[in-house]
Structure 1
Amino acid sequence: MEAQMVDIEAQSKSVFKKVDRPVTLKFQEVVYKITIKKQGCLKNKIDSPIEKQILKGITGIVIPGEMLAMLGPSGCGKTTLLTALGGRLGGKLSGSITYNNKPFSSTINRSTGFVTQDDVLYPHLTVTETLVFTALLRLPNTLTTQQKTTLAEDIIEQLGLTRCKSSVIGGPRLRGVSGGERKRVSIGQEMLINPSLLFLDEPTSGLDSTTAQRIVSTLWELARGGRTVVMTIHQPSSRLFYMFHKVLLLSDGNPLFFGKGSEVMSYFDSIGFSPLVAMNPSDFLLDLGNGILPDDSNQEDQATIKQKLVSAYKSNLADNLKAETIASEEQVNDVLDRKNSERWTTTWFQQFTILLRRDLKERRHESFDKLRIGQVLIISFLCGLLWWKSDTSNIRDQSGLLFFYTAFWVLMPLFRAIFTFPQEREMLEKERSSGMYRLSSYFMSRAIGDLPMELVLPTCFCIITYWMAGFKPNAGSFLYALVAVLLTVLVAQGLGLALSSIVMDLKSTTVLGGVITMTFTLTGGYYVQHVPVFVSWIKYVSISFYTYKLLLGSQYEHGQTYRCGNQTCLVADFPAINNIGLDGQATSFVALIIMLVGYRVIAYIALMRIGVLKK
């Protein structure tokens, strides 16, 4: 334990320190296939799905201290191969991918950093908050909270992020740090665990040449510390190209070259492909990957040129490369196997509390949105004025307001909740793939994090409208109505979570949510008293039906009367109330509680079932 603490403290002094868990990455004859289903009105029903091969037998080896760059035209399979090497690709993947001659495991995963092309970061968190929360989630409990925070601050300093450490990350509608700084934050998140393997997808995409140089120089320093660095890159400048230890050139899933970056030009010259003038090697390689020759006078078909390059690779490089990977069965440090094999570095409760804190910080701008608060307050006072001091003589109006309670507080939380999971899909995939937290801890923190404003606003609504509208002037009746409304909010939120996790598409989920809420409203018992038998069952799954029954029970009771013209009538006989009934209050509470739990269970199962998250 003491030695481990000393090691961590030494690591915090420099992210470029030599890694203590070097990993040799080998991949042999990697093949990946996908199945494409025919679509369109002219498809033949008897036609079977088409199987397409994305990766076509790719072999290579990267040892500690080396930086491999994968180049090739768009759609050639670079990202697919990178994802496969990072242990994040399922499906029809064949061939051998080993790490220190062993298959991918949770132990390897904890020593692997993966930086996606798009920087998936929370826009409203600052640079410091982003890295500190990542440190708290990913670093083991052998470190204290203070030590984790200190390590995050050291990463900020050593990656040159001190100037912007208090700035928010930003997004499409929020000004934040620059593109280069965002990329360094993403790299910093992975460097927190001092990874032995570091995968990066297009780390220089969208950056100017100076910023790109700075990023690649940082990666070169990381590799020099004994890490194995693998990246995809589209069109690097010549000075970036010569920093790569090894280069892999792909074209339509086929390897055209694998070897030292310094030897790539001489190799293609030896097989009869050389540029007519001095040019950036990466530009020349991309031309070859597209089947374009530097000699414009040659009118060969692009497919023919590609086939020649593939054949040359198989004749000149494939056998030697295969022999090199087989001969590299050297003894490797087995420290990875001696590491604690526990899947999670933190406890469930730690994950829950950290995620809850992060969620509250990130979403406080939504929770305290002035427009939303103003919307609820304006509608509250408008309702209070429209139903000002109504009494049982205006029972139609009172029952109408109670049903408005129902409709409004089913609609509002449901449509907020359906945005939850589709908006966070990329973040979930990224963090769960890194083994940062359990699905259950995330789910609970996400559901509870929205509760403060989800419950505060309906409480304010009830306080304003209840007393202005002249409902029963006693605390018991008010609390009964308030509990009914708050329970409805929680149930509607659960339904929204279930829909968002099942559909995972904002447009489709919004349409489906609208249809369901309208169905609940129409069958809630206020608009239609004589519902046909064959659709009357819908009310038993309707949130509106049970909520309306509870709200009626909070204000009226058996034997209570009201003035109807020149006579006295029973409240229970009023059509909008008689159809619902004043009995079955306990049943309604139980039904809503079952829905509250059931919808959340459905949401949780759906997240696991659809494969967006790993269990």
Structure 2
Amino acid sequence: MAVDDAETKNGSAWGKATGGALVTFEQVGYSLPVKSEPKGRKHILQDVSGYFEPGTLTAVMGPSGAGKTTFLDIVTGRKTQGEITGSLLFDGKKATKTFLKKHTAYVEQFDTLLGVLTVRDMLLYQAQLKCDRRESLQSKRDRVDALIVELGLSTCADVVIGDNLNRGISGGQAKRTNIGIALVTEPRIIFLDEPTSGLDSQTSCDVVSILRRLADSGRTIMSTIHSPTSEAFRLFDRLLLLHKGHTVYFGALHNKNGDASGGAVPYFAQLGLVYDPSTNLADFLITETGDKGEAANLKGLWQDSSYLADAKKHQEQLLLASIQLQANSAEAVTYLEHNMFSAVGVLLRFRSRANCKCPDFIMPRIIPSVFFGFIVSTLYYGAGGKAENPENISARGNVAAALFMSTVMPAFTAAGYMPSIVTERPLFYREQSDGCYTTGSYLLFKVIEEGFFHIFASLIFCLMTFFLIQLPGSFWWHWLLNFVTGQVGIALAYFCGSLAPNMDGANTLLPIINVISMYFAGVLMTYDAIPDAWKWFPWVTFMRYGWTANMLNNFPAECEMPLLAATPGCPTEYWGLKEGSSGLSVENNFGALCGFWALWLGLTFLVMTFVRHVKR
């Protein structure tokens, strides 16, 4: 990976030399309320102390259950539950949300990328969302190009990332792309959660080599890591070793010459835990701090060690120097974040443009309308012309059934729009935590994007059904009612997708609501036949209003032949359209549909804002 090419274009492949920040943590603890535990609390972390120094690469290790991920969530400000104790300072100050968003970056263990974008577009998309709005697009492009060169992504820069079903870039390339996403904002501190997880030994070493160079550029780098290779582990400077929530070692990993004869090795040797240089040092440390660590009381030995005293003394010196440096430095330049609508513009420009080229995205939104439009149109072909005669009771009943299917079909095909809310959830959580956009921005983007595609889907369906069935009403009302009913169905699908913890739950919840609503929409049971205990339900189902409006668009509001009032020849009387709806007005029932659309979107917004399916 050549650095020179990138440096000649943008000064430095890693961006501006902003330097890192000193992160100090003193007696950090974390606990959760558990009734079965002593004093009603379960302690996950206790008295964890240390620091992350600019220009160093620190590893956080420990056996399973040691508290590595919990500690990482605390220092990155992503813990959403439990009680945190102790002191956590960034350059001697408590970090604000603005500081964390602007000066820190977090690379998650699992890659959260958009499979429809290329590597270059993914990095530019993130740069557009995260960087100062006043910065020119060309400047962001130059930064992305430099990152692509330095991260060794040149060969796959214009390759679509892909997903589980569509082949794209490799796992190592995806991990480096994830690191690139963190670097687009030129952060001072980078936190990583097991960046080598799932990678082969060579790829793991390549990833850690990138982290090594980032640290050498002056940044503060901290990474949890599990079972690294000897080559990768050798690139780290410091080690924070945890065992069941307690610190059992913090300090240099190697001596100044970079070999294992100094640092952690002599400390554990004096405890009787001798390292064999022919083996992997990381494996040795994990093994010795497993069950053996508890038997050897490594926690107590660390508390009494001179290594801990030296670490505290050095931490105090670093903190004083950092505070003095901050006092003498100029105030940081502020940056302009995206507002709600500018963030929506970025989402549409990158994600919607890519989705327009993706058959996997388009087909589930268009094909059902074509298929059901063909079925309904051919099944009720010409029924509308015959239904103009009120005495043709059979034809009027068929038209009512066709309009019923035109109403419920958009609600059921909305299931094709629901998966995106569930499958994009990890990306939504990550981008929201990174300060890319608000819940309102994301939801508005989804409404615009899905509404655009639904315009064409509903037009195809309505062109087929209106002219082949020969409906007597207004085509534009027929299309508008179908489109808005579909939008209500999509909003309901969003609500189910956001409320359910997974796709299985969403696929169960949406059909239940739609099927129950279908019983009360009108055709399957007249209003008079509904039991008194259930007569309230038609008022709260959007399908009733949609079907009523469709019926009034095609049939007179008043009965033409009173003698037929007890038959479908007089639809208004027979199905009781005056009840369980907004009266005998197309406009009023259309307004009610719009109200349901706003209601389900509002509920979706509340769920996405206050319900977190991933608790940290």
Partner residue in 2 for 1:515:
512
One-letter amino acid matched to 2:301? A
Q: Deviations over 1:36-64 (max 9, x none)?
A: 478xxxxxxxx999522111111111211
More off after superposition, 108-117 vs 437-446? 437-446
Structure 1 residues 114 and 569: alpha-carbon distance in aligned structure 2, compared to 1, 3 A threshold: closer
Partner residue in 1 for 2:12:
14
Shift of 1:190: 1.0
Taking structure 2 as the reference length, what is the TM-score of the superposition? 0.88
> Whole-Å Cα distance in 1 between the matches of residues 363 and 420 of structure 2?
20
1:102 aligns with 2:102: no
Q: Deviations over 1:310-344 (max 9, x none)?
A: 111111033433333234322233699822456x5
Structure 1 residues 334 and 149: alpha-carbon distance in aligned structure 2, compared to 1, 3 A threshold: farther
Given the alignment, which residue of 345, 355, 366 partners 2:347?
A: 355
Superposed, 1:429-440 pairs within 5 Å as: 429-440=429-440
One-letter amino acid matched to 1:496? A
Partner residue in 2 for 1:129:
121
Partner residue in 2 for 1:169:
161
Partner residue in 2 for 1:296:
none
Shift of 1:200: 0.8
> Whole-Å Cα distance in 2 between the matches of residues 92 and 395 of structure 1?
66
Partner residue in 2 for 1:201:
193
Partner residue in 2 for 1:496:
493
One-letter amino acid matched to 1:547? G
Partner residue in 1 for 2:23:
25
Tell me if structure 2 keeps the 8 A contact 1:100–1:332. no
> Whole-Å Cα distance in 2 between the matches of residues 499 and 206 of structure 1?
33
Tell me if structure 2 keeps the 8 A contact 1:16–1:221. no
Partner residue in 2 for 1:42:
none
Partner residue in 2 for 1:546:
545
Partner residue in 1 for 2:151:
159
Structure 1 residues 366 and 253: alpha-carbon distance in aligned structure 2, compared to 1, 3 A threshold: farther
One-letter amino acid matched to 1:484? L
Tell me if structure 1 keeps the 8 A contact 2:559–2:572. no
Taking structure 1 as the reference length, what is the TM-score of the superposition? 0.88
Given the alignment, which residue of 311, 332, 342 partners 1:339?
A: 332
1:531 aligns with 2:530: yes
Tell me if structure 1 keeps the 8 A contact 2:76–2:100. no
Structure 1 residues 255 and 10: alpha-carbon distance in aligned structure 2, compared to 1, 3 A threshold: farther
Tell me if structure 1 keeps the 8 A contact 2:542–2:593. yes
Tell me if structure 2 keeps the 8 A contact 1:201–1:232. yes
1:407 aligns with 2:405: no
Partner residue in 1 for 2:310:
320
> Whole-Å Cα distance in 1 between the matches of residues 69 and 327 of structure 2?
29
Shift of 1:79: 1.4
Q: Deviations over 1:243-269 (max 9, x none)?
A: 211011111111111000011111100
More off after superposition, 219-228 vs 601-610? 601-610
Measured on the aligned residues, the alpha-carbon RMSD in Å equals 2.8
Partner residue in 2 for 1:297:
none
> Whole-Å Cα distance in 2 between the matches of residues 495 and 578 of structure 1?
24
Q: Deviations over 1:543-579 (max 9, x none)?
A: 11000110001100145648999x9995246623667
Tell me if structure 2 keeps the 8 A contact 1:498–1:602. yes
1:597 aligns with 2:598: yes
Structure 1 residues 240 and 48: alpha-carbon distance in aligned structure 2, compared to 1, 3 A threshold: closer
Give the secondary structure class of the aligned counterpart of 1:401.
helix
Q: Deviations over 1:404-444 (max 9, x none)?
A: 1111111112x234334322221122111111223322221
> Whole-Å Cα distance in 2 between the matches of residues 440 and 337 of structure 1?
35
Give the secondary structure class of the aligned counterpart of 2:437.
coil
Tell me if structure 2 keeps the 8 A contact 1:539–1:545. yes
Shift of 1:148: 1.1
Given the alignment, which residue of 365, 380, 388 partners 2:381?
A: 388
Given the alignment, which residue of 74, 87, 92 partners 2:64?
A: 74
> Whole-Å Cα distance in 1 between the matches of residues 558 and 100 of structure 2?
72
> Whole-Å Cα distance in 1 between the matches of residues 577 and 338 of structure 2?
56
Tell me if structure 2 keeps the 8 A contact 1:133–1:354. yes
> Whole-Å Cα distance in 2 between the matches of residues 20 and 405 of structure 1?
60
> Whole-Å Cα distance in 1 between the matches of residues 329 and 410 of structure 2?
53
Shift of 1:164: 0.4
Structure 1 residues 544 and 270: alpha-carbon distance in aligned structure 2, compared to 1, 3 A threshold: same
Instruction: Flag structure 2 segments of 5+ consecutive residues without an equivalent.
Output: 1-5, 255-262
Give the secondary structure class of the aligned counterpart of 2:198.
coil
Tell me if structure 1 keeps the 8 A contact 2:44–2:244. yes
> Whole-Å Cα distance in 2 between the matches of residues 335 and 188 of structure 1?
32
Partner residue in 2 for 1:576:
575
Structure 1 residues 247 and 469: alpha-carbon distance in aligned structure 2, compared to 1, 3 A threshold: same
> Whole-Å Cα distance in 2 between the matches of residues 247 and 570 of structure 1?
83
Give the secondary structure class of the aligned counterpart of 1:351.
helix
Structure 1 residues 151 and 213: alpha-carbon distance in aligned structure 2, compared to 1, 3 A threshold: same
Structure 1 residues 88 and 466: alpha-carbon distance in aligned structure 2, compared to 1, 3 A threshold: same
1:310 aligns with 2:302: no
Partner residue in 2 for 1:373:
366
Structure 1 residues 548 and 238: alpha-carbon distance in aligned structure 2, compared to 1, 3 A threshold: same
> Whole-Å Cα distance in 1 between the matches of residues 104 and 329 of structure 2?
11
Structure 1 residues 610 and 23: alpha-carbon distance in aligned structure 2, compared to 1, 3 A threshold: same
Tell me if structure 2 keeps the 8 A contact 1:107–1:341. no
Shift of 1:447: 1.8
Tell me if structure 2 keeps the 8 A contact 1:124–1:168. yes
Tell me if structure 2 keeps the 8 A contact 1:25–1:99. yes
Give the secondary structure class of the aligned counterpart of 1:525.
coil
One-letter amino acid matched to 2:18? D
Structure 1 residues 88 and 573: alpha-carbon distance in aligned structure 2, compared to 1, 3 A threshold: closer
Structure 1 residues 571 and 222: alpha-carbon distance in aligned structure 2, compared to 1, 3 A threshold: same
Shift of 1:270: 1.1
One-letter amino acid matched to 2:462? C
Tell me if structure 2 keeps the 8 A contact 1:428–1:613. no
More off after superposition, 496-505 vs 190-199? 496-505
Give the secondary structure class of the aligned counterpart of 2:524.
coil
> Whole-Å Cα distance in 1 between the matches of residues 327 and 231 of structure 2?
36
> Whole-Å Cα distance in 2 between the matches of residues 323 and 173 of structure 1?
54
More off after superposition, 318-327 vs 105-114? 318-327
> Whole-Å Cα distance in 2 between the matches of residues 368 and 611 of structure 1?
26
1:469 aligns with 2:465: no
> Whole-Å Cα distance in 1 between the matches of residues 268 and 7 of structure 2?
47
Structure 1 residues 570 and 112: alpha-carbon distance in aligned structure 2, compared to 1, 3 A threshold: same
Shift of 1:611: 4.6
More off after superposition, 193-202 vs 487-496? 487-496
1:252 aligns with 2:253: no
1:230 aligns with 2:227: no
> Whole-Å Cα distance in 2 between the matches of residues 336 and 425 of structure 1?
40
Structure 1 residues 336 and 370: alpha-carbon distance in aligned structure 2, compared to 1, 3 A threshold: farther
Shift of 1:238: 1.8
> Whole-Å Cα distance in 2 between the matches of residues 310 and 380 of structure 1?
70
> Whole-Å Cα distance in 1 between the matches of residues 245 and 49 of structure 2?
12
Shift of 1:69: 0.5
> Whole-Å Cα distance in 2 between the matches of residues 335 and 179 of structure 1?
44
